[in-house]
Structure 1
Amino acid sequence: MAQVRPFGKLDDGRAVHAHALDGGGPLRAEVLDLGGILARLWFEGHGGPVPLVLGLADARAYFADPSYLGIVVGRFGNRIGGAAFALDGRTHHLSANEGRNHLHGGMLGFGRRLWQVRAHGGNRLELRYHSPDGEEGYPGNLDMRAIYSIDGARLRLELEACCDSATPFNPTHHPYWNLAGDPAVPASAQWLKSPTRGFLPVDGELIPLGEVADAVGTPFDFRAARVLDAAAAAGHPQLDVAGGYDHCLVLEEGATTCALLYSPHSGIAMRIDCDAPALQLYDGHALDRQHPGLGRGLCLEPQGYPDAPNRPGFPDAILRPGEVFRRVIEYRFAAPGPGREWSEVEAALAAA
């Protein structure tokens, strides 16, 4: 039987609920009907259940959250420079919610909207959201479906959308990962591997400069597993510009695994599978100011290129009538144990 619990109310009185997902294996989750937020995720480690994502106390805290913890991002993940774009001969102006730019769908985006629960079983939750023409400045009506499901040690998020007028569309998922399960353990102590062939340098407003820079020999090269702390310690002008990692990694063509992450403290590892062409890497450095005491988490967001509607050289990010957008993000977990060699981590994830 599906389990649902109250998760508080918004200022206007609307109730928010947390929907439990349990596949009978080592993985359990709670997802909110507010923003499709992955609010809780536990994995059964060697010493018991370990919380894997950062979370907040109630609905009001999430609605006021400037960090986008756990949300399904839409319509457009990441940034659109100048909060404007031209499409089919017409200029559209979006809500500017980060200085003069547009970030993660705008003032409310999809992450501060109540989604409709269409189905909820023990290990599956289907949410839907209708984004009307003109919402946040976007053209056309868009219907979005997000399906969470748990199967053994795997959490799967299926995203699907269609529209009645051409619109920029680049959804993603925004959990903050700290597989140590302990806010006292830095998220930057995790090991990261990702098939990066390049990255997108940004300006002082974190808008891409328009080029794909070679990642080889830089702190943005994660083709071999690296501790994030050690990678950042190498130093790079782009880390100074962004205040740390807040960059889009361009993945090898045809890659279906975006990232592998491992905590040598808890011994838990994660693999993210998705066919997105890029992965936003954010080290959560603003959390110290936005949520003191919460600790830091690492965002690994499979997506298209930021500011793509204004960059003809970037892969297209326009959804048109008659098309159906589909993307699957799968998180696979294993517990190889603390202090393992990287080869053991990869073997455990392959078997999960």
Structure 2
Amino acid sequence: MPISKEFYDKTSDGHYISIYSLTNGSMKVKIIDYGGIITNIFVPDKDGKMEDIALGFDTYKDGYDTRNRYFGALVGRYANRIAKGQFTLDGVTHQLAVNNGPNALHGGINGFDKRLWASSIEGNKLVLKYTSADGEENYPGEVKVTVTYQLTDQNELILDYTATTNKKTIINLTNHSYFNLAGHAAGTLDGHFVRLAADKFTPVDDTSIPTGAIDDVNGTMFDLTSETNVVTRLPNVPGDKGFDHNFVLGKPGWDKHAARLRHTPSGRQIDMYTTEPGFQFYTGYYLGIDNAKGGANYRKWSAFCLEAQHYPDSPNQPSFPSTVLSPGETYRQTTKYVFSIAES
């Protein structure tokens, strides 16, 4: 599918940011090489009307530099939370920045979401590359990361991730796009219905760190295995913040269906498939951004995220799937978002 490149903005230290447009005739996705951020996703509704369903900002200076909530970004070196910002490898304890209450979140103060990636067009794919130095954000090992974006003519947005290291480290990468299928500025998740292909989840403490248990969703507010009206469930989720939880998919496997959300009035639907063992379903409790893209105001529970991942705090939870990457190994992940019109 065609990919075009344009100048987007400059970083605070004067480096050029490029924006790439991926089109297939029926939808368009825009991505910048700062943070690998998906800035726009234009998708038609059942009547062919296009809307941008991805939350974000109009320019780097409007918010991606200082006000971002990880909108659309590549997140790493470790997505989600690590308890007390600490983990131990081979007897050595590493202290990360504590940037989310008592915990480390999404790679630190200047994670992958705040880095300028080397970008290129290779055939029908946008390729982003970044080398994270040994000791960056106090993570061990030089890590070389490649992420490709591809938009197919089946309206599939496919993200492929690979990474290697020269020293044993931990890694957990994801994309942090916020979606609202009614349009990014809709302001509410009214009309959204969710179904998750996960019958287990990882319960958390009051700082959102997993307790170590893997619980059945059956009989709880986390049972989304059958289609559920999102807004009627949100106020009843324990903790009163809606969903911000890791759902368990079991053993990794290619093209594993993880989630479906559909918006009844527009007919828009998104499905996520991933090779990852879990994903974070987040409904935007901590949103609170004024004058974002197009002047929109983003409030709590006005968007959702589907963040394919290994489980939060895995380095400190021996029973969870390992996130350790050693020299000679290659980290691999594929996640696919499929956009369609729901059957009426």
Q: Same fold (TM over 0.5)?
A: yes
> Partner of 2:83 in structure 1?
81
1:266 offset after TM fit, Å? 1.3
1:127-171 Cα deviation digits (max 9, x unpaired): 100000000010000000010011111111111111111111110
The 5-angstrom pairing of residues 9-48 of structure 1 reads 9-23=10-24, 25-45=25-45, 46-48=47-49
1:262 Cα deviation after fit: 0.4
Instruction: Kindly report which structure 2 residues correspond to 1:315-326, keeping only aligned pairs within 5 A, or say none.
Output: 315-326=321-332
1:333 and 2:339 aligned: yes
SS of equivalent to 2:67:
coil
Q: Does 1:126 align with 2:111?
A: no
Q: Is the 8 A contact 1:190 1:264 kept in 2?
A: yes
Contact 1:239 1:245 in 2 (8 A): no
Equivalent-residue separation in structure 2 for 1:252 and 1:3 (angstroms): 38
| 2-structure distance, mates of 1:314, 1:87 | 15
Candidates 289, 309, 313, aligned match of 2:315: 309
The answer to whether the aligner puts 1:137 opposite 2:132 as a matched pair is no
| Cα separation, 1, equivalents of 2:303 and 2:8 | 22
Equivalent in the alignment of 2:272: 272
54 and 182 in structure 1: CA distance in 2 versus 1, 3 angstrom threshold:
closer
Equivalence map 1:1-352=2 (5 Å):
2-23=3-24, 25-45=25-45, 46-60=47-61, 61-119=63-121, 121=123, 123-152=124-153, 153-181=155-183, 183-184=185-186, 186-187=188-189, 189-233=191-235, 235-236=236-237, 238-240=238-240, 243-253=241-251, 256-288=256-288, 293-295=297-299, 296-336=302-342, 340=344
Asked if the contact 1:195–1:252 (Cα under 8 Å) also holds between the matched residues in 2, the reply is: no
Q: Deviations over 1:108-139 (max 9, x none)?
A: 11000000013355x42001000000000100
RMSD of aligned residue pairs (Cα, Å): 1.8
Cα displacement string for residues 208-235 of structure 1 (whole angstroms, at most 9, x for unaligned residues): 11111221121211111111112234x2
**Partners of 1:145 and 1:35 in 2: CA distance:** 12
- Whole-angstrom distance in 2 between the partners of 1:41 and 1:120: 21
Aligned residue for 1:231, secondary structure, equals: helix
C-alpha distance 116-26 of structure 1, shift in aligned 2 (>3 A): same
Q: Distance in 2 between matches of 1:22 and 1:333?
A: 13
* SS in structure 2 of the partner of residue 111 of structure 1: helix
Alignment TM-score, normalising by the size of structure 1: 0.89
TM-score normalized by the length of structure 2: 0.91
Range with bigger deviation, 285-294 or 196-205: 285-294
Counterpart CA distance in 1 for 2:26 and 2:239 is: 37
Q: Is the 8 A contact 1:257 1:275 kept in 2?
A: no
For the 8 Å contact 1:177–1:187, the answer to whether it is kept is no
Cα distance change on mapping 1:188 and 1:215 into 2, 3 Å: farther
**What SS is found at the alignment partner of 1:3?**
strand
Q: How many residues align?
A: 332
Q: Percent identity?
A: 34
Secondary structure of 2:113 counterpart: coil
State the match for 1:350 in structure 2.
none
Q: Take 2:37 and 2:161, find their aligned partners in 1: how far apart are those partners?
A: 14
Judge conservation of contact 1:181–1:266 (CA < 8 Å) in 2. Answer: no
Shift of 1:283: 0.5
* Partner Cα separation in structure 1 for residue 342 and residue 113 of structure 2: 34
Q: Per the alignment, in what secondary structure is the counterpart of residue 264 of structure 2? A: coil
Larger proportion of helix = 1
Q: CA deviation at 1:259?
A: 0.5
Q: 1:330 to 1:199 in 2, by over 3 A?
A: same
